[in-house]
């Protein structure tokens, strides 16, 4: 997956987040796409910037990436 594709997904997850679950969606992005981000050595800063969300969420994506070692995404989730 390319940096642009990941930026688009992050944008959609952020702006379509259910009420009260915005930061959870940022963490979920990090969890779900951790492998792509790590294998391709894609800059989180670049993805956040291209997605149009605040750069302060870089830390939250990093937390999601760390959580990816311990959790899985339920298959019925819509992202």
Q: Is the pLDDT of residue 78 over 70?
A: no
> Would you say 24 and 79 are in contact if contact means Cβ atoms under 8 Å apart?
no
Q: Is the pLDDT of residue 76 over 70?
A: no
State how many domains the chain has: 1
CA distance 18 to 49: 22
Residue 1: band (very low, low, confident or very high) from pLDDT cuts 50, 70, 90: confident
On whether residue 79 sits in a domain, the answer given is: no
On whether residue 72 sits in a domain, the answer given is: no
On whether residue 77 sits in a domain, the answer given is: no
On whether residue 74 sits in a domain, the answer given is: no
Mapping DSSP to helix (H, G, I), strand (E, B) and coil, where does residue 1 land? coil
Print the domain residue range for 17: 3-67
- pTM higher than 0.85 for the full model? yes
């Amino acid at each position: 997956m390319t940096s642009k594709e990941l930026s688009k997904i992050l944008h959609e997850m952020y702006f379509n987040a259910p009420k009260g679950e915005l930061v959870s969606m940022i963490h979920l992005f990090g969890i779900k796409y951790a492998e792509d981000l790590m294998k391709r050595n894609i800059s989180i800063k670049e993805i956040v910037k291209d997605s149009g969300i605040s750069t302060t969420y870089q830390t939250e994506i990093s937390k999601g990436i760390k959580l990816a070692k311990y959790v899985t995404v339920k298959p019925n989730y819509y992202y």
